[in-house]
Amino acid sequence: MRLNKFLSSCGISSRRKAEQLILDGKVKVNGVVVSSLGTVVNEEKDDVFCEGKKLSLPNSFVYYKLNKPKGYICSNSDEKGRKTIFSILPSSQRLFSVGRLDYNTEGLIIITNDGNFANALIHPNSEIEKEYIVTIEGKISESELAVLRAGVVEKGVRMPKARVSPIKFDGKLTRLSVVIFEGQNRQIRRMFEAIGKTIVLLKRIRIGKIVLGGLVRGKFKPLTKDEISWVLN
Active site residues: 102
Sequence-distant (≥ 6) Cβ neighbours of residue 130 within 8 angstroms:
179, 180, 181, 183, 204, 206, 207, 208
Sequence-distant (≥ 6) Cβ neighbours of residue 48 within 8 angstroms:
3, 6, 7, 27, 28, 29, 41, 54, 55
**Buried-state track 44-83, b at ≥16 Cβ within 10 A, e below 16:** eeeebebeeeebebbeebebbbbbbeeebbbeeeeeeeee
Nearest to 54 by CA among 43, 64, 65: 43
What is the SS3 assignment for 58?
Answer: coil
Give the H or E element holding residue 199.
strand 199-207
Angle at which helices 115-122 and 225-232 pack, to 10 degrees? 70
CB 223 within 8 A of CB 210: yes
Cα 159 from Cα 190, distance rounded (Å): 9
